[in-house]
């Protein structure tokens, strides 16, 4: 394990704190939607990109990975895992943020550590190979709180509206982000005593036994009448977490734009564009701040005992768990998760869930479920609630909920402006 940054080096790298001025400037963004003109690693879905993303999450569901199988299902083709849409984006042309507002928020929360603490998804249609994904986004809320781990913090919720090349809304993706003062987090050192997990052969065998009993329900429909409150959704394992897992997630298509890792000359250009995101490592080499997900020394420099996963990785694991349970005929239509603890290198997550309610809404048969992830220390690291639509009888078609009219109109307006600017 490499040595962490020295205190004086750390202070030079992260001298900024959360200020009252930044908080007030941050509130200027409430309700402002802006076209997302970023180019993610994946812009248009393909059979390969869908399969690779699923595999990057450890998901081998043939509905995402096997075209021949998928064409025999109600979907008629491979469909993307719902949460994959959050990491796919083609540049959407749009009117720029007003110059006055842009000037007021310049350098907002610079040098502040940001991590995803949870999200809320709503899905309205499936995404297929050939679909190009566009989006626009805006800040919905901003709160200031005192965190046990990092002192003063800011909780910010951004809403991302994801749509296809026809301007049809596929999903809304609300991201809950926590902004903390890195130096304060280091000084608190709440998690400094956590030790890396160690496994003997018998413990690995127990995890392997869970993997051996997993599998997607697939073509066998799960009917609404066959589900009862209190039913278990089964058990799934994810882990032990390795750097390989993080790299596979990136290789599957997760870009983390605009702070995407990049190599060689492209990395150099990225460093010129966002120099503050590059902080020297122990060898004096500028490297991305997000390396805390694979570099123990940098993770320790900001108050953690070792590197840890992306919260969005575990969110995708949740989606895998739910779709394995509900099968091809079911639809996950909503999911709300809260990341409660870090998942460190070596940690194993055991996913369990149960049915908490059944109801009918606008002709759809719905099941509410609660899901949790628990690590090998017995700690709950993530909890979530979700709503799944199930068929009433074999062969019946389950429908997505309709897009709210005002939201669909907003998307059509944004896409029309995109087309007009493209023609111009």
* pLDDT, tens digit, 9 for 90 and up, residues 219-250: 999 999 999 999 999 999 999 999 999 999 99
Residue 201 is inside which H or E element, if any? helix 201-212
pLDDT in the model for residue 415: 97
Confidence of residue 260 (pLDDT cuts 50, 70, 90): confident
What are the angstrom distances between the C-alpha of 207 and each of 215, 375, 379, 402?
15, 12, 17, 40
pLDDT tens column, 318-334 = 999 999 999 999 999 99
pLDDT tens column, 341-370 = 999 999 999 999 999 999 999 889 999 999
Cα-to-chain-centroid distance, residue 162: 14
pLDDT in the model for residue 256: 79
pLDDT in the model for residue 87: 93
Confidence of residue 131 (pLDDT cuts 50, 70, 90): very high
pLDDT in the model for residue 116: 73
pLDDT in the model for residue 120: 96
| Mean pLDDT, residues 115-136 taken together | 94
Higher-pLDDT residue of 302, 6: 302
What are the angstrom distances between the C-alpha of 292 and each of 7, 365, 413?
17, 43, 39
Distant-in-sequence, close-in-space partners of 354: CB < 8 Å, separation ≥ 6: 230, 231, 232, 233, 369, 370
Task: Report, in angstroms and rounded to the nearest whole number, the Rg of the chain calculated over CA atoms.
Answer: 22
Length of the chain: 424
3-state secondary structure of 331: strand
Alpha carbons 186 and 190: distance in angstroms, whole number: 9
- Work out the end-to-end distance of the chain between its first and last CA atoms, rounded to an integer number of angstroms: 55
pLDDT in the model for residue 10: 38
What does 85-120 look like in DSSP terms, one character per residue?
Answer: GGGB-PPPP-PPPPHHHHHHTTTTTTT-EEEEEEEE
pTM beyond 0.85: the answer is yes
Residue 121 tokens read as 């998804």
Give the phi and the psi of residue 45 in degrees, each rounded to 5: -70, 140
Confidence of residue 6 (pLDDT cuts 50, 70, 90): very low
pLDDT tens column, 19-42 = 899 999 999 999 899 999 999 999
Mean pLDDT score across all residues of the chain: 90
Give the phi and the psi of residue 21 in degrees, each rounded to 5: -65, -45
- The yes or no reply on domain 7-423 and CATH 3.10.129.10 is yes
Closest CA relative to residue 37, chosen from 312, 421, 407: 421
Helix residue spans in 28-179 (DSSP H): 47-56, 62-65, 67-70, 99-104
Comparing 58-72, 188-202, 296-310, 397-411, the range with the smallest average pLDDT is 188-202
Residue 190 has pLDDT above 80, yes or no: no
Q: What is the DSSP letter of 337?
A: E
Comparing 150-154, 380-384, 396-400, the range with the smallest average pLDDT is 150-154
| Mean pLDDT, residues 138-167 taken together | 87
pLDDT in the model for residue 4: 38
Residue 316 has pLDDT above 60, yes or no: yes
Give domain limits for the chain.
7-423
pLDDT in the model for residue 110: 84
Confidence of residue 145 (pLDDT cuts 50, 70, 90): confident
Comparing 50-64, 168-182, 230-244, the range with the smallest average pLDDT is 168-182
pLDDT in the model for residue 117: 82
Alpha carbons 130 and 358: distance in angstroms, whole number: 35
Residue 7 has pLDDT above 70, yes or no: no
| Mean pLDDT, residues 387-392 taken together | 97
Strongest mean pLDDT among 51-65, 115-129, 143-157: 51-65
Comparing 49-58, 73-82, 176-185, 392-401, the range with the smallest average pLDDT is 176-185
């Amino acid at each position: 394990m490499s040595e962490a940054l020295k205190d004086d080096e750390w202070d030079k790298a992260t001298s900024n704190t959360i200020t009252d001025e930044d908080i007030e400037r941050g509130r200027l963004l409430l309700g402002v939607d802006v076209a997302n003109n970023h180019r993610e690693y994946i812009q248009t879905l393909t059979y390969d990109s869908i399969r690779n993303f699923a595999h990057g999450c450890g998901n081998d569901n043939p509905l995402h990975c096997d075209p021949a199988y998928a064409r025999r299902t109600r979907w008629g083709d491979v469909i993307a895992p719902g949460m994959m849409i959050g990491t796919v984006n083609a540049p959407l042309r749009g009117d720029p943020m007003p110059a006055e507002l842009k000037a007021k928020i310049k350098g907002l929360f610079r040098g502040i550590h940001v991590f995803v603490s949870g999200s809320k998804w709503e899905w309205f249609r499936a995404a297929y190979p050939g679909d190009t994904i566009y989006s626009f986004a805006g800040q919905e809320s901003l709160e200031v709180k005192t965190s046990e781990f990092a002192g003063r913090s800011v909780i910010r919720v951004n809403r991302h509206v994801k749509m296809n090349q026809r301007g049809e809304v596929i999903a809304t993706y609300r991201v809950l982000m926590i902004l903390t003062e890195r130096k304060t987090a280091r000084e608190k050192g709440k998690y400094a005593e956590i030790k890396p997990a160690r496994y003997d052969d018998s413990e690995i065998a127990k995890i392997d036994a869970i993997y051996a009993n997993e599998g997607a329900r697939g073509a066998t429909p799960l009917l609404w009448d066959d589900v009862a409150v209190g039913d278990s959704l089964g058990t799934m394992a994810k882990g032990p977490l390795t750097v390989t897992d993080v790299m596979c997630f990136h290789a599957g298509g997760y870009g983390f734009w605009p702070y995407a890792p990049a190599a060689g000359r492209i990395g150099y250009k990225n460093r010129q564009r966002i120099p503050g995101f590059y902080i020297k490592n122990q060898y004096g080499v500028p490297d991305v701040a997000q390396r805390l997900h694979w570099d123990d020394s940098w993770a320790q420099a900001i108050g953690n005992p070792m590197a840890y996963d992306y919260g969005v990785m575990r969110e995708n694991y949740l989606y895998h768990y739910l779709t394995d349970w509900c099968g091809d005929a079911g639809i996950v239509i909503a999911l709300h998760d809260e990341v409660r603890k870090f998942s460190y290198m070596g940690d194993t997550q055991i996913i369990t869930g149960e049915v908490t309610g059944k109801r009918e809404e606008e002709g759809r048969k719905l099941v509410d479920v609660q899901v949790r992830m628990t690590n090998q220390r017995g700690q709950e690291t993530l909890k979530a609630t979700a709503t799944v639509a199930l068929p009433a009888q074999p062969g019946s078609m389950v429908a997505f909920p309709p897009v709210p009219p005002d939201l669909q109109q907003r998307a059509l307006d944004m896409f029309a402006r995109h087309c007009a600017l493209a023609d111009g």
